[in-house]
Amino acid sequence: MEEKKDVGITVKKQEDFSEWYTQAVSKSGLADYSSVSGCMVIRELGYAIWDNIKKICEEKLYKLGIKPAYFPLFIPESLLKKEAAHVKGFSPEVAWVTHGGNTKLGEKLAIRPTSEAIMYDSYSRWIRSWRDLPLRLCQWNNAVRWEFKHPVLLMRTREFLWTEGHTVFATPKEAEKEIKDIMDIWKDVCENYLALYGISGQKTEKEKFAGAVYTQSIEYYSPSGKAAQGPDAHYDGQNFAKAYDIKFIDKDEKIKYPFQNTWAITTRMVGIMVAVHGDNKGLVIPPKIAPNKIVIIPIYTGNEKKKILAEAGKLKDMLKEFNPILDDREEYTPGWKFNEWELKGIPLRLEFGPKDLKEKQAVVVRRDTAKKIPVKLAQLKKTVPKMLADMQDDLFKKSKKMMLDNVVEVKNMDELKKAVKDKKIAKAKFCNETKCEDNIKDKTGGATTRGIPLGSKKPAGKCVYCSKPAKVWVHIAKAY
């Protein structure tokens, strides 16, 4: 029996996180590098997980009254330039189309880094009256952002998948209520499905989305010691409405500019899931997001083969609500299969051999604990959901503990530099001025503000860097 060699992860997560992460993502079949520099291939398992995230988000977003649409991939340069802060923020990252075949285009076309420009050109024609509002659209698509040095599969690539929401309201109250609603959805999806604990915060002026009034996001801690920004929401006020001439006649018969939001969740969340939950054997996929929650592995010799395979088939049918995989391949040993499915992160493994046939049981193994539990076949339909729920809950608790254990409060620059060096997220008092923020980044070797914690009170005391009175608490860390 010939088996593949070197299919497992060859480094330990705690010793070389970067190499471990790359191997976990590629060897498990989540994603792979492509021949296009900085661009990835999302493989079957990775896409299935993203598809589950998409379905969960769709259900929640559409209940709010948001509807899906699709706009062109290409954006004329003249449209992109209409909002000054927006184009300045994205200009280094834009990939341009300059030729169609051998013919030079009359106007360069940007490949969508984000869709404000192309969508709001249409909005300016569609919105005429208060009756046309609110307009609440999102599109599930790809985006391209070109400039960076070191691609990381699912975390930082030139092309990625996301949903980008673009909504328009008559009043700021309506728009800002949606920001809260969207952030609540992101928190729900990430905590209750991806089992990821994050810290919600508001970005500083320096770090906010280009063109926004303010940006809120959820930040996560990676065992690499870096922070990773998760889903976000941007209150844009009337900035884009004025730039793209979006106006409406209100009920008082006056012409007004509406108020807008943009928001997104991306395939980066799959990468954060890997980084937080994975171990030295490979992926650990939270049950609620796993495409297949169970793998059944029959164990037999020649004499028992027929009976055991027949019973394993019955188990698959009995547990069909969990979309189980029956691994009845004959070219691999049970031990090799155990390792492969551990690498792929399937939540539960059911082992079924001659002893189990005799005892009318299956041995159930949770991916995160590796503990083997014999369960009577008659009890499987009752026991499996509880084991999956317990695993989901335990993964979230572990994620929360990891985050809280790695956030440290600092009082001065020496403590801040030490926290960054120790791969922690620092919580510091801050004057909230961009110049001071630039100095902190320079003095810490690249750490940036990750967000002002939502709901935090104004601190007493001085800024961690300068002698000015502190205005906010802020989290600071190196980031992807």
pLDDT, tens only, 338-367: 999 999 999 999 999 999 999 999 999 999
Whether the bond into 287 is cis, omega within 30 of 0: no
Task: Point out the least confidently predicted range of 91-95, 104-108, 275-279, 330-334.
Answer: 91-95
Domains of the chain (ranges; CATH) run 17-277 (3.30.930.10), 290-403 (3.40.50.800), 407-477 (3.30.110.30)
Q: Is the pLDDT of residue 467 over 90?
A: no
Half-sphere exposure for 92 (CA within 13 Å, toward CB): 5
Of the candidates 20, 53, 58, the residue with the CA atom closest to the CA atom of residue 290: 53
Residues 6+ apart with CB under 8 A from 473: 427, 428, 429, 430, 452, 453, 456, 459
Q: Which residue has the tokens 């169970």?
A: 294
Angle, vertex CA 254, rays to CA 252 and CA 259, nearest 5: 100
Of the candidates 424, 480, 450, 50, the residue with the CA atom closest to the CA atom of residue 217: 450
pLDDT, tens only, 302-317: 788 999 999 999 999 9
Q: What is the structure's pLDDT at 5?
A: 55
Q: Which residue has the tokens 């075949």?
A: 101
* Residue 1: band (very low, low, confident or very high) from pLDDT cuts 50, 70, 90: very low
Of the candidates 408, 416, 460, the residue with the CA atom closest to the CA atom of residue 440: 416
Distant-in-sequence contacts of 7-10, Cβ < 8 A, 24+ apart: 7/339, 7/340, 7/343, 8/281, 8/282, 8/339, 8/343, 9/280, 9/281, 9/282, 9/343
**What is the C-alpha to C-alpha distance for residues 28 and 282, in angstroms, rounded to an integer?**
7
**What is the C-alpha to C-alpha distance for residues 112 and 73, in angstroms, rounded to an integer?**
5
Mean pLDDT across the stretch 309-327? 97
Neighbours of 455 (CB within 10 A): 7
pLDDT, tens only, 240-297: 999 999 999 999 999 999 999 999 999 999 999 999 999 999 999 999 999 999 999 9
Strands 135-144 and 74-76: unpaired
